[in-house]
Structure 1
Amino acid sequence: MSTKSKSTDMRGLISLTKTTQTLLAHFQSSLSPSQTSSTPSVALIPGSSSVPEPNPLEIVKVATTLLKSHTTTLSLLLLTPPLTPSAIVKKIGDVSSEVLSNLVAAASGTAIQGQKDQLGDLMRVELRIQARRLIGTWGEVLALVLRFAEKREKATGKDEGPTESERQDVLAATGVVWEACDSLLKVCQDGVVGLVVKKAEQWRSVLMDAVEELKEWGEDVADEDDEDKAEGSDEEDGGFGDEDDIFGAANKLGKGDKDLKTLLDDSVKRLKKVSMLYQALIKRRLKTFPQSPVSADATNGESTEALADPIQTLDQLMVLLKGIPETVDDLASAFYDLDEEEAKDTLDKCCREAKSAVDLVKKSWTGTDDVFTTWSGKWTAALEAA
């Protein structure tokens, strides 16, 4: 191949790379949190028939697996001299026109026309986040392609291949893409059930941390004798105590705050019961969520409104489970401000949210009574009696 032909090929690679970078920016924008799906997106697995794949997670899984493979090949092309523009151009074209377009369509799209959404809001958000991150990592590989191509375009001698520093850059960028691919593949493998269980466990952990902090704060009741001693020490040091005395005294319970202390103890008891609810919901509702639509046989032919759209019910449940720890944060703030009325109102709100979660899924996903149905009645009574 003549030098002129090589130069033309290299310029073509540079042009394609820059165009693809613009395309990646568009893909990432379409996956941003501010974007919402409008019309349903139909994505096809490369090489499949015209029939839409019903499960978007399968499309994401196939696209991600292909991207990992293409990235591996591309990294080898960058590391092996001489740089071959035609091979790299083909590889970039395969990734942008097939793999990434299908990945973005599946991650950002709504349910296919005429079918119910199988993923729900939580999974849709997770797919957008993971896919956006993956595209960002692949953009770093693309940036290396541009750097290598521009370097070879200016070079006049024999292509000696990448320097050791450049080799390390390629390996590092490839490794980051692999990691992002594996993370997205794990989401697809775990499915909706795996994701909601993981999120609920995280939110329960946040809730328990808040409860423990409240409990410790309530046990730190200022002792009157210690206060007297602190006043004496203030005189000795010119009227300045330590930092905790100066900035912490305003939001510490005193021995005279008996009503607030009683409310705090009641709050801790109730919140521990709410934590128990998370455990029960994870075991009896989230882990048993049907991976496929509930059939009429499963309900003995009975139809219920609750089963009209299980994924919508799941979405509503997850919103409540996410919101409860946030309400507990507000409760803690009320206590730290020594605002008894606000603390009462916020505690009531937290309990209402927990009971709403129970009521939402009191019956099983098949619309029947089960162990959780019976347990939830006892739990509600215990919460109200606490």
Structure 2
Amino acid sequence: MPPPKDIQKLISLTQTTQTLLAHFQTSLTPSPTTNTSTDAPDLPNGPLIAIHAATTLLKSHTTTLSLLLLTPPLTPSALIAKIGDVSSGALSGMVAAASYTPPAGARDDLGQIMRVELRVQVKRLVGAWGDILALVLAMAEARKTLSGKDRGPSEQERKDVLERTGVVWDVCDELLKLCNGGVVELVLKKAQQLRAVLLDAVEELKEWGEDVADSDDEDEDKAEGSGEDEFGDEDDFFGAKNKIGKDDKELKVLLDRSVKKLKMVGIMYQAVGKRRLKTFPAAAPSSNPATTGATNRDAASETPAQRLDELMQTLKTIPDTVDDLASTFYELEQEEAEAELKKVCDEAKSAVELVKKSWTGTDDEFTMWSAKWIEALDAA
């Protein structure tokens, strides 16, 4: 057994490091007024490269640490050195890069959407590594009063070491994948998910409208039956107000028009993904007023990363508005449905206008397509 003094040093270090990890977690969840640019780290090669290198190193250190925990006897000096390497090296560098926000006017290669995702993933990794640290503390505490030879970890301790190491590896792999894919892969994935949510809502709305005739026939059959059957099942009775009647022709026409327009919005997601998100520059240069030209908005003052953030926010808003639109139909509120449909279309056109020009501020095939798409959406 190692001297009790060495065990106590290990215990003290793990407790101090746990406090440090709590500080890391806080720094990765900044308040809206937090300005991290005042003491921004030196990231000459970009935050993605810095995080990738730190994650690779952390995964390697975690592997070594797990082997130390599984190999008897417990060696406090080796564990102390390894924990120090992680907390002062890999983790501190990773957290500094993830929490970095460029100062006003500085070049922004990532954009807010990527920085938020990086912070989420790094925060998960800090938490996962904290679970391993807690296990180190528990194993050290158990051996503090152990008399005799250390015969190695118990079956439960061995299981915990392997499970928690595996979790860290998995989170590291996800973070490395995010760094390798960069902004483009992230926004493409999110856009595809948003489009899927949108189309699911459209399909449900379409099916609800197609169920009109059958529900009306059922209602007529019930009306001709006995008084007891007029009310039918409790769910049918209270759900009857949420079905379009045969006389609600104007609402049915509006529903059909809405479904047609919403399908066109789904096509917009595909086009934006292929023609704009896939072509987003990995290291986006600032927009040049000389090449951007005049548009309906002051695009010259925005970097591509800022335009991308605004675009993704708009694409995220549209499915929520479609849900609101569906609710107005289910409540048979025609005027509200008209208003919500207009809102969806305006948001979709706003998304297209944001990236009407290329990331370098020039016209291209998508520029022409977007104009035709807006005309078709208005005519639908």
TM-score (norm 1): 0.91
- TM-superposed deviation, 1:248: 1.8
CA distance in 2, matches of 1:225, 1:114: 65
Tell me the SS of whatever aligns to 1:109: coil
Q: 1:146 corresponds to which letter in structure 2? A: L
Alignment of 1:1-386 (within 5 A): 6-32=3-29, 34=31, 37-40=34-37, 41-43=39-41, 52-111=43-102, 115-221=106-212, 223-231=215-223, 235-236=227-228, 241-294=232-285, 302=291, 304=293, 306=299, 308-386=302-380
Secondary structure in structure 2 of the residue aligned to 1:162: coil
Secondary structure of the residue aligned to 1:248 is helix
More displaced 10-residue stretch of structure 1: 25-34 or 370-379 = 25-34
Moved more, 32-41 or 7-16: 32-41
* Alpha-carbon distance in structure 2 between the residues aligned to 1:98 and 1:325: 42
Structure 1 position 63, deviation (Å): 0.9
Structure 1 pair 302/130, CA: closer, same or farther in 2 (3 Å)?
same
Return the offset for 1:227: 0.7
Q: CA deviation at 1:294?
A: 3.9
Structure 2: how far apart are the matches of 1:234 and 1:39? 73
Deviation larger for 142-151 or 109-118: 109-118
Q: Deviations over 1:316-361 (max 9, x none)?
A: 1111111111110111111111111111111101111111111111
8 A Cα contact 1:43 1:53, kept in partner: no
State the SS of the aligned residue for 1:81: coil
The 2-side partners of 1:337 and 1:240 are apart by: 20
| CA contact 2:51–2:97 (8 Å) conserved in 1 | yes
**Partner amino acid for 2:220?**
D
Rounded to whole Å, the distance in 1 between the matches of 2:6 and 2:341 is 68
Match of 1:49 in 2: none
Deviations 1:172-191 (A, max 9, x none): 00000000000111110110
Q: CA deviation at 1:231?
A: 4.0
Identity %: 62
Equivalenced residue count is 373
2:267 maps to a residue whose letter is M
Does structure 1 retain, via aligned residues, the 8 Å contact 2:291–2:360? no
1:327/1:300 CA distance change after superposition, 3 Å: closer
Q: CA deviation at 1:306?
A: 3.2
Q: Normalising by structure 2, report the TM-score.
A: 0.92
- How far apart are 1:214 and its partner, in Å? 0.5
Q: Is the 8 A contact 2:36 2:99 kept in 1?
A: no
For residues 185-220 of structure 1, the C-alpha deviation after alignment (integer angstroms, 9 at most, x for no partner) is 111011011111111111011100010010001111
Q: Secondary structure at the match of 2:368?
A: helix
Change over 3 Å in CA distance of 1:82–1:272 after alignment to 2 = same
Once the two structures are TM-superposed, the CA of residue 365 in structure 1 deviates from its matched residue by 1.3
Question: 1:48: which partner in 2?
Answer: none
Distance 1:113 1:79, change over 3 A: farther
Question: Shift of the alpha carbon at 1:110?
Answer: 0.3
TM-superposed deviation, 1:39: 2.9
Unaligned runs of 5+ in 2: none
Aligned counterparts of 2:172 and 2:273: Cα–Cα separation in 1: 27
SS in 1 for 2:36: coil
Q: Supply the RMSD in Å over aligned alpha carbons.
A: 2.1
Return the offset for 1:94.
1.1
Tell me: CA distance 1:113–1:355, structure 2 relative to 1, closer, same or farther (3 Å): closer
Q: What is the CA deviation profile of residues 247-286 of structure 1, one whole-angstrom value per residue up to 9, with x for unaligned ones? A: 3212111112111111111000000111111111001011
